[in-house]
Chains A and B, each alone.
Chain A
Amino acid sequence: MERTTIDLWVGLFVLLGLGAILVLALKVGNLGGVNMSDAYSVSANFSNIGGLKVRAPVKSAGVVVGRVSGVHFDGERHEAVATLKLDKQYTFSKDASASIMTSGLLGEQYIALETGGDSAHLKEGDKIKITQSAVVLESLIGQFLYNKAADGGENK
């Protein structure tokens, strides 16, 4: 098959296009981020998850170690259940604690995972027992006002 300059240009064009897709995938998207192919999932109950969303990061010491893979409501215990997918290369003790934090004042919410002292590790399907719910700004303000009013009453 004879080659022409057109073939060269078309080859360059296709290469540029595929390169653009690759750039979008690696540089713009999060495909190059935490690879979750090797992961184990654990669950945690929260009395209030605030604005936690699926795919929110799970961080330990500020480093992303996994993602929230699902959020649903437990109708019997009336609690929210968050399923976390954690990277296989990180292990946490069985008595690890999970708390829902906010990055920045109004930023997105994430789960902070802190390891405990137990020598046994969390395994696939385990449940994190010690949890701390999200801080809801309205209830915080309400509590503050309530305390303020109580203080005012005492001072009189």
Chain B
Amino acid sequence: MPNSLVRGVRRTGHRVIDSLWRLGVASRFFVLILLHSGTSFRRLHLIIKELFSTGVLSLIIILVSGLFVGMVLGMQGYDTLQRYGSEEALGVMVALSLVRELGPVVAALLFASRAGSAITAEIGLMKATEQLSAMEMMAVNPIARVVAPRFWAGVISMPLLAAMFSAMGVFGGYLVGVKLIGVDEGSFWSQMQNAVDFQQDIVNGIIKSFVFGVAVTAIALFEGYDAPPTAEGVSGATTRTVVTSSLAILALDFMLTAFMFRGEG
């Protein structure tokens, strides 16, 4: 009995120390990326190539989901607002919830599963097939050549994708609210423009998505770089990327929201 207790304590301790270790390595890895970003900005074509695979290829899923999320918001919002006779406020509701929360968060979640998992799998396989060691043998720093361009591509494309998601969602809300249900078009837009502030809402949304972009890409890159060089290891790392970055997005979102919108009318 005490023997199994000791084993349990030992296992817990091992887990804690192991995750602390990983956190330390991840932080060092993050600093290394930032240190080596200078070289990758001098070779812009590397970033552009990665922008294609993280940004452009995520375009369809972001635009289509943005449209549907906006359409659902329009329907659900109308259903609730018409009970209080204020269906003109539909535009405000759709725009504020998209620009402040849903745009950055849902776009980041989609980005984590669409682009983050791909990054992890790619880098994990590069490591498993010893391409990264081969680069080191040729005195090419794999962090500067492979990791940093992917990082900046992710960081650049995330705010753009979130903005597209929000714009598409507002359009979806307009389609359902104005064209399908018949809310007055003028008050839909004018109330929205009165309620949404550029600094307070839109800029804060962009800041949010920028932070999410940093978090998701850094997690994906680290999981790939740290993956055990086996088929099983890479698949586990890919799963961990999606899980960890989704949790990180939601936790960061809470913190950022607490900072940005605390006690404001």
Residues of A within 8 A of B (CB): 1, 6-7, 9-10, 12-14, 16-18, 20-21, 23-25, 27-33, 53-55, 57
- Please report B residues at the A interface, Cβ cutoff 8 Å: 45, 48-49, 51-52, 55-56, 59, 95, 99, 157, 159-161, 163-164, 166-168, 170, 189, 192-194, 196-198, 201-202, 206, 265
Contact of B48 among A7, A27, A29 (CB under 8 A): A7
Q: Which residue of A lies closest to B201 (CB)?
A: A29
Chain A contacts of B202 at CB under 8 A?
21, 24-25, 28-29
A9-B56 in contact (CB<8A): yes
Chain B residue numbers with a CB within 8 Å of A18 are 160
**Can you name 22 A-B pairs with beta carbons within 8 Å?**
A6-B48, A9-B52, A9-B56, A10-B56, A13-B55, A13-B59, A13-B157, A13-B160, A14-B51, A14-B160, A17-B157, A17-B161, A20-B163, A20-B164, A20-B166, A20-B168, A27-B170, A27-B189, A28-B196, A30-B193, A32-B193, A54-B265
Residues of B contacting A33 in the complex (Cβ-Cβ under 8 angstroms)? 193-194
Give the chain B neighbours of A9 by CB distance below 8 A: 52, 56
Q: Give Cα A53–Cα B194 distance, bound, in whole angstroms.
A: 13
Whether the Cβ atoms of A53 and B265 lie closer than 8 Å is: yes
| Interface SS majority for chain A | helix
A9 to B99, CA, bound (A): 26
Bound complex: CA of A9 vs CA of B54, how far in Å?
12
Cβ of B172 to closest chain A Cβ, rounded Å: 13
- The answer for the CA separation of A18 and B156 in the assembled complex, in Å, is 11
Assess whether B163 is in contact with A24, with CB atoms less than 8 Å apart: yes
Bound-state Cα–Cα, A137 to B59, Å? 51
A13-B51 in contact (CB<8A): yes
Bound state CA distance, A6 and B99, in angstroms? 29
CB distance from B170 to the nearest CB of A (A): 6
Closest 7 A/B residue pairs (Cβ): A17-B160, A20-B163, A20-B167, A29-B198, A20-B164, A31-B198, A21-B163
B167 contacts A24, C-beta separation under 8 Å = yes
The closest CB in chain B to the CB of A21 belongs to B163
Closest chain-A Cβ to B255's Cβ sits at a distance in Å of 23
